[in-house]
Structure 1
Amino acid sequence: MNYLPNAFEPPVWYLVMPVCGATEEVFTGKRYADILAARLNNDQRNALIKVEDYTFLPSSVHLMIREVALSLDMWWPAFMEAVLEELNKKWPGGGLLWCSYTSERIADEKAFEHRAYELLYLPVWKGLARDPEGYAYNSVNNRANIDL
């Protein structure tokens, strides 16, 4: 795939956000996936960020986002705090926390393609699906209804 010059300006980021405190599926449960999707779609409608790709695993969120109006440092902490607050309102007993979250700047097409492939195949590698098209919570099937 050939990208236009400056295709990675504004920056594109690969984010991994695992949640701690859950003994069962979080982000592949519709009521919890909906919280995450609503926040992402709202932030996109307000042109804060653009979701390029995603995969929700049972206890972690994997996103590729492009900065739009806000830098990652401005957007991400507020996003994580808002999502966690809403999750804990609906999670039995609350107590969910983000743990060991990471970010990586996607600097070129090779890195983008590598992470896109990883997002696509994570559910297969984790034994959650036989093929990427068989997994509901990713950009391919978009069961979370994220504006892509």
Structure 2
Amino acid sequence: MMQRHNWFPNPTYGDPKPTRSIDCTVHQWGSPNNPGIILRHSSDTAGGYAGWVVSGLPAGVKCAFIASCGFADTTDTFRGPLLSVKDSSDNVLADSKTWANNERLRVGLTVPSDGVVKLIFRGRTGKDTAFYQIICTEAGSDESFFTGGTMPLQNN
């Protein structure tokens, strides 16, 4: 049986503080079986986000960042993609769509040679947006069934 890795730096959300946040707050949210974060922009300015640096990824490997997202209205699209992955030089590697209706989002990419990426979350201005069951794992045909709690998992 294949054992999955979750390279997201804090999969149990005991301390949900992002590596960097601009114009937003982040709070722990959810149950032990469904852990996550609540993100809220603190003003009407575009560009606010919470981000985590994920390091130690295997260079050249195809990975997927997967997260469930609560409601984010189509009219809030000025903020950009809900999930974005950048390399260590802030070049965009992959983006999700700009809105969600309580659904699972997936962003696939090939890990850069330094093994470092930045995972960016964007929410709704002045309102809460939930992100939960956040994982970074090897991309594969069975990843859509992997939610962080139902398959063997090694948290790195």
**TM-score strictly above 0.5:** no
TM-score by length of 1: 0.38
Bigger fraction of residues in helix: 1
Bigger fraction of residues in strand: 2
TM-score by length of 2: 0.37
